[in-house]
Amino acid sequence: GAGVSQSPSNKVTEKGKDVELRCDPISGHTALYWYRQSLGQGLEFLIYFQGNSAPDKSGLPSDRFSAERTGGSVSTLTIQRTQQEDSAVYLCASSLERAHEQYFGPGTRLTVT
Amino acid sequence: AQSVAQPEDQVNVAEGNPLTVKCTYSVSGNPYLFWYVQYPNRGLQFLLKYITGDNLVKGSYGFEAEFNKSQTSFHLKKPSALVSDSALYFCAVRDYRADKLSFGAGTTVTVRA
């Protein structure tokens, strides 16, 4: 079946602009996660959605970052007033429930110039 | 709190030799442990997991991992490495009560022909 998809695959933006990154999880997966992977570093947890529960936003680095998940499926990660340090690969993952392994999308490479 | 350590940034082996990638973890409760692999310009792929049961877990592509509670380790192993196993490997852990995974910094594996 179809895996996790993310769009765009690459995004180049100017400092100060807003960007939106999209994630389509695997159908039927109730849990959705966003991570950030900076060059040469591991994965940094950003936010977690589980069903209709309030999201766990504890990993968001600043109030410029926000995310929503509509209808329990598609999720959008928004970064306002982008800064150069926001440049990274943003990965989305989904799982059946929180106990299960996560399946990752290919990521969106964000470059802030 | 939960955390993962991958003590080796890089592992180099010759094709046909055994491959081991080390991982140690720290959680306050029972751990759920995972290994993922990332090929260049690709998202993370799930390899295997330990939730409960046998300490030796078998996964994709001939990989296995051994859970050792006393040493708080979950090392990834492959008896005979292939050049195609060259990639970045991540160990991840979460406490069974937690929602999010904590990832190690990753280990780059290079298998030479």
Task: Give contacts of A93 with chain B, Cβ < 8 Å.
Answer: 44
Task: Using the structure block, give the residue that is written with the tokens 């592509």.
Answer: B61
Instruction: Give the sign of the dihedral formed by CA A95, CA A101, CA A106, CA A110.
Output: positive
Q: pLDDT digits over B31-76, tens only?
A: 999 999 999 878 899 999 999 889 999 999 999 999 999 999 999 9
Distance CA A95, CA A29 (A): 5
Residue from the list B46, B49, B99 with its beta carbon closest to the beta carbon of A98: B99
| Cα distance from N-terminal residue to C-terminal residue, chain A | 37
CA distance A73 to B17: 44
List CB contacts (< 8 A) between B100 and chain A.
33, 45, 48, 56, 59
Q: Report the C-alpha gap between B36 and B90 in whole angstroms.
A: 5
pLDDT (tens digit per residue) in A36-88? 998 767 789 999 998 888 898 989 999 999 999 988 799 999 999 999 999 99
A41 — alpha (psi -120 to 50), left (phi > 0) or beta? Answer: beta
Strands B87-95 and B31-38: antiparallel
Beta-carbon contacts of residue B53 (< 8 Å; ≥ 6 apart): none
**What distance in Å separates the CA atoms of residue B96 and residue A40, rounded to the nearest whole number?**
29
Nearest CA to B70 among B36, B111, B24, B11? B24
Give the model's pLDDT for residue A97.
Answer: 75
DSSP letters for A70-81: STTS-EEEEE-S
Q: Do B43 and A106 touch (CB under 8 A)?
A: yes
Residue B104 CA to residue A26 CA, distance in Å, equals 25
Query: Residue A27 carries which side chain, given as an amino acid letter?
Result: S
Q: What is the mean pLDDT of residues B94-107?
A: 85
Q: How far apart are alpha carbons B15 and A105 in whole angstroms? A: 29
pLDDT digits (tens, 9 = 90+) for A1-15: 589 999 999 999 999
CA distance A46 to chain B (A): 10
Q: C-alpha distances in angstroms, A103 versus A27, A78, A87, A95, B40? A: 12, 21, 23, 6, 17
Is cis: bond before A25, omega within 30 of 0?
Answer: no
